[in-house]
Structure 1
Amino acid sequence: MKRKKLPPGEMGLPWLGETMDFFNAQRRNRLFEDFVDPRIRKHGKIFKTRLMGSATVVVNGSEANKFILSNEFKLVKSSWPSSSVQLMGKESIMEKDREGHRCLRGVISTSFGYNGLETIVPKICDVVQNHIARNWHIGGQDDQIVHLYHSTKVLTFKIVFECLLGMEVEEEMVDTFERVLEGVFCPPLMIPGSKFWRAKKARREIEKMLVNVVREKRREIEEERRLKKKKEEEEDGNNGMLLCKLVCGMIEGEISEEEVVDNVVLLVFAAHDTTSFAIAMTFKMLAQHQDCYTKLLQEHGDIRKSKRLGENLTMEDIKKMKYTWQVARESMRLFPPIFGSFRKAITDIHYEGFTIPKGWKVLWTAYGTHYNEEYFKDALKFKPSRFEEAIPSYVFVPFGGGPRLCAGYQLAKLNILIFVHYVVTQFEWSLIHPHEPIIMDPLPLPSLGMPIKISPLTQPQKY
C-alpha cells in the first residue's frame, strides 16, 4: 500500500506537541507572528503540528480557506472543544451537520434577510441611543471616562435580547453570560470552584430562564393561532423577530425546544464579544489615523443633516456609510475577532500533494490571508481604501466562510455602523491609551477595556 505523504512540520512532545507555544502566542495576540509565520517560513503554507493532543494540519491562503471551508460536511466537519460544546449546547447550529444544519440555518437566516434587517434598524437605533443616554453621562463636567469595550459588550447584549428576542435585559444577565464565556476553552473538569464548574452553573441558570421564555412565547403564538390571527402577524418581528421564528419552527415540528434554547445561547455569544471587539478596534484605528477620521466624520455629518430631529436611521442611510464600513473592515482585517477555527477530517484529504489523514484536525486562520502581502499590499498598514475594490472570496474572512459563514454577520455590520454614527455625531473623544495591548481571554480584547475620554461636540447634532 502506498505510504501517505504527510505535510512537513514537527509534532513536538507526545500529546502536548506544540500546544504551549500555540497558547502562549495566542495569549499575547501574536498567533501569526510567533507561531504561524515562523512555521510557514520553515515548512511552507501547509504544515503539521500537534495541538491539545490532536495531530493537526495548519493551512494558509485563500485557496486553502476555500478548499477547507467550502468542503464542510464533505471532507471536514466542525471540531470544537468538549467544553465549548457543553456550554454552547450540543443542539446548537455549530454542532449540526448536513440536513440538521441546513434546517436550523434556514430558520435563523430568514431573520437576517433584507426585510428583516430593514425592520430591525430603527430598533437598534433606539437601543443604541438609550444606552448612550443612560451610560455616557457628561453632567456638569467637561468630559468623562467611558470604558468603550465594556460599554459595547453590554450594548451588543441588549441588542440581541431586545431586538431579536423581545426580552428585557436585567443587569445580572450580562454577568451570568460572562461566566459561561470564561469556561468555553477551559478543560472540562467539574472541580468545584474551577472556571468550567462556574461556567456550567451559569449555563444552567441561563437555560432555566430561557426555557421559561420559550414556553411563554409558544403559549402566546398558539393562543394567537387559536384566535385565528394571520400567521404573518405572529412573525412580523414586533416582539422578538428571531425568537418568534424559532418558536414557530418548534410548533411546526421542525426544531426542538432544546435546539431553540441552545441556539439562542450561541447567538448571544457569537454577537457579543466579537462585535464589541470589532467596534473597539475601529475606534482604535480612527484614533491613530486622523485623516481617516476626518473623512468618516464628513460622511456621518452629511447623513445627519438629511435627518429630521428625532428621526432614526434607515437602511438607506446605512448604505451611505460606505467609507465607515471600509474602515471597519480594515480594522477587522488587522484585528480579526476570531483567529480561525478547527475542523476534523472525516476522510483522507488529498491537498497540495499531501495527505491529511482521516481523524486529524485542520486549522485555518484569518491571519494566513489578512497579513499576507500576496493579497494585501503593505499588509501591516491601515488602509481602508483597499476595500474600495472587491476582495476575492476567502481572502477577507473575519466571519468565516462556506456553509458555516456566520449567519449574523449582517447584524454585526448594523451594530458597528449605527453605534459609530451616534458616537461621532454627538461626542468629541480620544483614547486614553492609544497603544493599549490586545490580549486573549479567551477571545481577543483590549487589555485595559479601552477607556476613552468623551466630551460634547462644540456644535452637537441632537437626536
Structure 2
Amino acid sequence: MDFFMQYLLLTLITLIASIFVLQKRRKAGGTKNLPPGSFGWPLVGETYQFLFNKIEHFLQERIKKHSSEIFHTSILGEPTVVLCGPGGSKFVSSNETKLVKVWYMKTQHRLFNIPDQTHAAMPKPTLEATSVKILGILKPEGISRYMGNKFESIMQQHLNTHWEGKTQVKVYPLVKAFTLTLVCHFFLGIDEPHHAAKFASDFENLHLGIYSVPVNIPGSTYRRALKAAAAIRNKIQFLINEKIDALSKGHVVDGLLAQVVCAEQGGKYVPRLEISNIIMGLMNSSHIPIAITLAFMIKLIGQRPDIYQKIVSEHGGVTKSKGYGTALDWDSIQKLKYTWAVAQETMRLYPTAPGGFREVITDITYQGFTIPKGWKIFWALIGKNKNPKYFDEPESFDPSRFEGNVPTPYTWIPFGAGPRSCPGVDYTRFVILNFIHFLITKFKWEVILPDEKVCGALIPTPAEGIPIHLHHF
C-alpha cells in the first residue's frame, strides 16, 4: 500500500512540478550542446526510477544507453546532469563555490530545517562558531575527550546483553541499537541504552524519509519522517534546556551538549533550534550508515575464514600491548591497517551514500558539453565502485585492493572529496574498528543466509537482518 501511495504521490507532485521543469528546459535553450540523455516521461521525468530502482542499475542502464559517464535526466522536478566517472567527481569537488554550490532536496530542507539558500540570510557568527565546535569534536582529540573510556563500558554492556550466551543473533538490528546508543552518548550525554532506545523508531523513519516523495499526507513515508524529525528535535531541545538550566544555577555540567549551548561570548546562548538541527543531522549520519557497514562487514568476515584469521592475528598483536577487553586508542587504531582495508572493501560493495546534489552557479562546459546555469548536478559517489574499468572482479570481496596501492583517485570516495567531504571519517573509523576488535576477541561466527536479499534502492539493507551462528571463546 505504501509503495502504491508513493507512486501516486510522485505522479501528483511531478505533475505540478512539470510546468516549472518545462520552463527551465526552454530557458536552457535548444542551441546549447547538452550532455546525452533523456528527460523521461513528460510529467514524472525519471524520478520514479531514481528513487525506487537500484541506484547501480539506474546509473549503469543510462551509461550503457548514452555511451558516456555523463548524462542528463529529470529528477525531483529538476533538469539534472548526472556525473558518474572519476573525472566528474574531481571536477565537482575542486569547483565547490566556484562553479557549483550545494543543493538539498526538498525532503532535506524540511526534515532538517535547512534554510533556502537563495533567500536565507547569512548565518549568525555564534551559529558558525557552534558548527565549528561541533564538527571539531569529530576529530581524534574530540572523540577521545568525549568518548574516553565510555565506549568500553557501552560496548561491554551491549555484548553482555545481546551477544553473550546466545547461539544465534541477527546482526543488523543489534548494531543499529549499538550505534544509536553511542551517538546518544556522544552527542547528547545519554548513557543508558533504554533511554537511547526511545529515539530508535524516530531515527529509522527520519532515515527512510530523506529519499522519499515529499508529499505530506497521512500514511506516507515523508509524513512519518516529518513527525520523527519534530520528535527528535523536541527531545534534543528538552536536553538543551536541562543543560542551560543547570548552567544558570551555577552547576558544573560537562559534555559536548553543555559546551555547545554555552555562550561563545557575552553570556548569550546560540539559538537552541539551530543546535538541535545540527546535532540531529550529525546523529542521523553517524547512526544507521555505520550500522549498515558494520552489519555487512560482519557478514563478509563470517563467510571468509581466511580473512577472519588475518583479522584475529592483527588484533591479537594489539591485545598484547593494550590488554584484553580494552577500547583502542588512536595509536592502536593506526595499527589495524588490514581490518580497515576490510571495512573499506565493505563500503565499496555496500555504499551507504549514493551521492549528492549540486546547483550550477554559471554555465559550465565539461567534456565538451554545456551544463546550463540553474541546473542540478547529481554527483554519484557510487557507480565507479563496481566498474570493472577501475576494480578487477568488482563483485568479489577482496580487501587487498586497499592494502598498499590505493585505488585510482576519485574512483572510491565514500566520504566525498573536497571542501565538503564528510567530517565523520575519524568517528566512523573509531567506532568500526573498536566494535570489530571487541567482537573478534570474543566470538567466531557463521553466516546462516549467505545469499540473503539486499533491499533498498539507494541505501542497502539486509532483508533478514543477517542472522549468524555464534561460537564463544
Q: Closer, same or farther in 2 for the Cα pair 1:51/1:286, shift >3 Å? A: same
Question: Can you list the C-alpha shifts for 1:399-432, whole angstroms capped at 9, x where unaligned?
Answer: 1222221111211111111111111110121111
Question: Can you list the C-alpha shifts for 1:104-134, whole angstroms capped at 9, x where unaligned?
Answer: 6522231022322333253222212211111
SS of the residue corresponding to residue 338 of structure 2 reads helix
Question: Can you list the C-alpha shifts for 1:12-67, whole angstroms capped at 9, x where unaligned?
Answer: 211312233333422xxxx22x2212322332111111223221111122221021
- Quote the residue 1:368 is aligned against: 383
- Alignment match of 1:414 (pick from 427, 430, 453): 430
1:173 paired to 2:199: yes
Q: Closer, same or farther in 2 for the Cα pair 1:218/1:394, shift >3 Å? A: farther
- The Cα of 1:153 is off from its aligned counterpart by 0.9
- Quote the residue 1:49 is aligned against: 73
| C-alpha distance in 2 between matches for 1:386 and 1:214 | 45
* Amino acid in the other structure paired with 2:258: C
| C-alpha distance in 1 between matches for 2:248 and 2:97 | 36
- Quote the residue 1:20 is aligned against: 48
- Alignment match of 2:262 (pick from 248, 259, 282): 248
- The Cα of 1:435 is off from its aligned counterpart by 1.6
Contact 1:347–1:358, Cα closer than 8 Å, also in 2:
yes
Please provide the CA RMSD for this pair: 2.8
| C-alpha distance in 1 between matches for 2:399 and 2:419 | 28
- The Cα of 1:213 is off from its aligned counterpart by 0.9
1:257 paired to 2:272: yes
Q: Closer, same or farther in 2 for the Cα pair 1:374/1:249, shift >3 Å? A: farther
- Alignment match of 1:397 (pick from 399, 407, 413): 413
- Alignment match of 2:149 (pick from 104, 119, 122): 122
Bigger shift: residues 285-294 or 391-400:
391-400
SS of the residue corresponding to residue 453 of structure 1 reads strand
- Quote the residue 1:460 is aligned against: none
SS of the residue corresponding to residue 455 of structure 1 reads strand
Question: Can you list the C-alpha shifts for 1:124-165, whole angstroms capped at 9, x where unaligned?
Answer: 222122111112131xxxx52221111111111111111332
| C-alpha distance in 2 between matches for 1:289 and 1:268 | 32
| C-alpha distance in 2 between matches for 1:396 and 1:96 | 34
* Amino acid in the other structure paired with 2:74: R
Total equivalences in the alignment: 435
- Quote the residue 2:60 is aligned against: 37
Q: Closer, same or farther in 2 for the Cα pair 1:250/1:153, shift >3 Å? A: farther
SS of the residue corresponding to residue 370 of structure 1 reads coil
| C-alpha distance in 1 between matches for 2:307 and 2:70 | 36
Bigger shift: residues 156-165 or 72-81:
72-81
Q: Which runs of 5+ in 1 are unaligned?
A: 458-463
Contact 1:92–1:262, Cα closer than 8 Å, also in 2:
no
5 Å-filtered alignment, 1:427-446, equals 427-440=443-456, 443-446=459-462
- Alignment match of 1:113 (pick from 129, 133, 139): 139
5 Å-filtered alignment, 1:333-344, equals 333-344=348-359
- Quote the residue 2:105 is aligned against: 81
Bigger shift: residues 367-376 or 8-17:
367-376
- Quote the residue 1:281 is aligned against: 296
5 Å-filtered alignment, 1:208-223, equals 208-221=234-247
- Quote the residue 2:34 is aligned against: 6
Q: Closer, same or farther in 2 for the Cα pair 1:98/1:150, shift >3 Å? A: farther
SS of the residue corresponding to residue 356 of structure 2 reads strand
- The Cα of 1:251 is off from its aligned counterpart by 6.3
| C-alpha distance in 2 between matches for 1:420 and 1:96 | 44
Contact 1:5–1:354, Cα closer than 8 Å, also in 2:
yes
Contact 2:139–2:427, Cα closer than 8 Å, also in 1:
no
- TM norm structure 2: 0.84
- Alignment match of 1:321 (pick from 325, 336, 339): 336
* Amino acid in the other structure paired with 2:313: Q
- Alignment match of 2:223 (pick from 179, 183, 197): 197
Contact 2:325–2:438, Cα closer than 8 Å, also in 1:
no
1:269 paired to 2:284: yes
Bigger shift: residues 323-332 or 57-66:
57-66
Contact 1:91–1:262, Cα closer than 8 Å, also in 2:
no
Contact 2:170–2:466, Cα closer than 8 Å, also in 1:
yes
| C-alpha distance in 2 between matches for 1:310 and 1:385 | 28
- Quote the residue 1:461 is aligned against: none
- TM norm structure 1: 0.85
- The Cα of 1:262 is off from its aligned counterpart by 0.2
* Amino acid in the other structure paired with 1:330: E
| C-alpha distance in 2 between matches for 1:154 and 1:12 | 41
SS of the residue corresponding to residue 48 of structure 1 reads strand
SS of the residue corresponding to residue 233 of structure 2 reads helix
SS of the residue corresponding to residue 287 of structure 2 reads helix
| C-alpha distance in 2 between matches for 1:347 and 1:74 | 9
Q: Closer, same or farther in 2 for the Cα pair 1:184/1:454, shift >3 Å? A: same
Q: Closer, same or farther in 2 for the Cα pair 1:2/1:438, shift >3 Å? A: closer
| C-alpha distance in 2 between matches for 1:92 and 1:116 | 31
Contact 1:330–1:383, Cα closer than 8 Å, also in 2:
yes
Q: Closer, same or farther in 2 for the Cα pair 1:271/1:312, shift >3 Å? A: closer
- The Cα of 1:103 is off from its aligned counterpart by 4.9
SS of the residue corresponding to residue 182 of structure 1 reads helix
- Quote the residue 1:159 is aligned against: 182
